[in-house]
Amino acid sequence: VRRESGDDDIEDEGILTVIQGDIAVPINRNADPCVQTGCKWPKSSDGKVYIPYVISNSYSKNVITTAINSFSASTCIRFFPRTTQTDYVNIQSLDGFGKCTDGVSESEGCIYFGTVQHELIHALGFNHEQCRSDRDQHIKILLQNVIPGEEYNFNKINTLNLGTPYDYNSVIVWYFDQLCLLYTITTPPWWLFPTANTVFGTATQMSQNDIDRINLLYCSK
């Protein structure tokens, strides 16, 4: 996300670090979520939130634009192609994990509808579900399985949660293949769930909780 002040300019890959596997931020910036600090995209007088975006020419735009347009069907968010706006979402390729970020990054072979939604939700200010402030009531992270030095990806964040329940089906839960980048072994499991049959990280589109949170943060009067 590029800001007019330049503080959040992500175009220079040299000043970025990747946190939680797929969120790119400047190395001198705290990773606190916008839901905590109030750095939301502004709402217009018509009640809509208009967010300009740019897509790298190296990508096929069909899946990306379909995912972008899906937000208008269920929320007040309206993404539109950038012209001269100073604040915008920049969809581009970054090094590191090669996932999409909130200056949204996509690598070749990673462009899926749900992945684009996932990363645009980051651009709206939301973090991964497994980093919620109340996550310990719902999952257990087995830090002994994490590659040394990568533990920070599982730090809890002082999120507000907007009165919504923990959602195993959220599109911002890490996918299975993303998780294995940060673990040294595959057994025992990375998480301990309430039951052995709990499914996570399989969402292909926004859950109702994802939609509700966006509407609560941006669209409520």
Helix, strand, coil percentages, rounded to 5, for the chain: 30, 15, 55
Q: What are phi and psi of 46, to 5 degrees?
A: -85, 5
pLDDT per residue over 20-62, tens digit each? Answer: 455 554 433 333 455 544 578 899 999 999 999 998 766 667 8
CA distances from 211 to 67, 78, 170, 218 (A): 13, 14, 10, 11
Work out the percent of the chain whose per-residue pLDDT is above 70.
59
Work out the percent of the chain whose per-residue pLDDT is above 90.
23
Assess whether the previous peptide bond of 188 is cis (omega < 30° from 0). yes
Instruction: Report the chain's C-alpha Rg in angstroms.
Output: 17
In angstroms, the CA 167 to CA 200 distance is: 9
pLDDT per residue over 186-201, tens digit each? Answer: 444 555 555 556 666 6
Pairing mode, strands 49-55 and 77-81: parallel
pLDDT per residue over 108-131, tens digit each? Answer: 455 788 888 988 998 888 888 888
Catalytic residue among 4, 11, 106, 119: 119
Average pLDDT of 196-216? Answer: 83
In angstroms, the CA 67 to CA 205 distance is: 9
CA distances from 15 to 11, 25, 151 (A): 9, 8, 21
Query: Is 122 annotated for ligand binding?
Result: yes
pLDDT for the residue 72: 95
Average pLDDT of 131-156? Answer: 81
Tokens in use for 154?
């599982």
In angstroms, the CA 89 to CA 78 distance is: 12
In angstroms, the CA 216 to CA 42 distance is: 14
Catalytic annotation on 13? no
pLDDT for the residue 75: 97
Domains of the chain: 13-127 (3.40.390.10), 129-209 (3.40.390.10)
Going by the DSSP 8-state scheme, the letter that residue 218 receives in this structure is I
Q: Is the full-model pTM beyond 0.85?
A: no
Query: Is 128 annotated for ligand binding?
Result: yes
Tokens in use for 52?
């300009």
Sign for the CA dihedral angle at 39, 44, 49, 50 comes to negative
Given a contact cutoff of 8 angstroms between Cβ atoms, the answer to whether 160 and 153 are in contact is: no
Given a contact cutoff of 8 angstroms between Cβ atoms, the answer to whether 25 and 3 are in contact is: no
